[in-house]
Amino acid sequence: MGLYFKFFSMHLKSQMEYKTSFFFTIVGQFTVSFTSLLGVWFLFELFHEVEGFTFPQVLLCFATVLMSFSLAECFGRAFDQFPRMLANGEFDRVLVRPQGVIRQVLMAKIDFTRLGRLTQAVLVFGYALPRSGVLWTWDKVCTLVLMVVCGSLVFFCLFLIYAAISFFTLEGLEFMNILTDGGREFGRYPFSIYGEGILKFLTYVVPLALFQYYPLLYLVGREASLRYMLAPLGGLVFAVPAYALWRLGLRNYVSTGS
């Protein structure tokens, strides 16, 4: 961990070298996400509820998904750019170093400009939490923490799958953006509004609903079972196929010769 924190400090210092550019990039990230927030607000100007969820309750979905995605993208950015690492031969150097492969890839890129989205998620939480009608007992607080932490890990696993597929294609496959950036955009609302088929897919195949929709039902009092409180932990199972695909790609990796 000491080595990781050393690289953490190096990336932060290098990105802060050009402070004006760094600041405006953060502002740009904030502004792009803010347009999505405006879309939610305009919808609730016309409709006061969505499937019985109020505006502040929907904002809990918005902030949870945005914060989870921002954390995963900030610290797992190298996997999102992994095809470039394969193409320029940098990954070959990773394989001959006496450190874990995943750790080295993680240390290759930490993108602090994603703090713009993270800041917006914190502000939305600050607005939504006291207005959501949720009585914030210890179990509800734990549920919210699980939603954010497990959500970050699910998005990180999606980036890992994207990188693993790159072993076979050498180029990133854009369809994965449907699950990463698309998951962030569609996660502005409870996933149940998209229909039963989509909800099942996001429960049993790509478990985005496990950290967004089901624990939300527990927070707002629609469900009292601990299964809904602990649903985000079920998303951690997604790490098993993600890591297995990564290991499969690693075993079949052939150098590009760059």
Q: Read out DSSP for 79-110?
A: HHTHHHHHHTTHHHHHHTSSS-HHHHHHHH--
Domain boundaries, the chain: 22-251
Q: What does the pLDDT read at residue 126?
A: 93
Q: What does the pLDDT read at residue 42?
A: 87
**pLDDT confidence bin for 95, thresholds 50/70/90:** confident
Q: Of 28-32, 149-153, 156-160, 193-197, which gets the smallest average pLDDT?
A: 28-32
E strand or H helix at 245, and its extent? helix 239-251
| Overall pTM > 0.85 | yes
Q: What does the pLDDT read at residue 138?
A: 95
Q: How far apart are CA 200 and CA 159, in angstroms?
A: 21
**pLDDT confidence bin for 93, thresholds 50/70/90:** confident
Q: What does the pLDDT read at residue 211?
A: 96
Rounded (5°) CA angle 57-61-67:
130
For residue 140, pLDDT beyond 90 = yes
Quick one: average pLDDT of 148-159? 95
Quick one: average pLDDT of 135-149? 95
**pLDDT confidence bin for 8, thresholds 50/70/90:** low
The encoded tokens of residue 256 equal: 């590009």
For residue 144, pLDDT beyond 90 = yes
Q: What does the pLDDT read at residue 69?
A: 93
Query: Chain-wide mean pLDDT for the chain?
Result: 86
For residue 258, pLDDT beyond 60 = no
Q: How far apart are CA 37 and CA 108, in angstroms?
A: 32
Q: What does the pLDDT read at residue 7?
A: 65
**pLDDT tens profile 193-248:** 999 999 999 999 999 999 999 999 999 999 999 999 999 999 999 999 999 999 99
Residues 6+ positions from 231 with CB-CB distance below 8 Å: 210, 211, 214, 215, 218
Residues 6+ positions from 162 with CB-CB distance below 8 Å: 79, 80, 82, 172, 173, 176, 180
**pLDDT tens profile 48-68:** 888 889 999 999 999 999 999
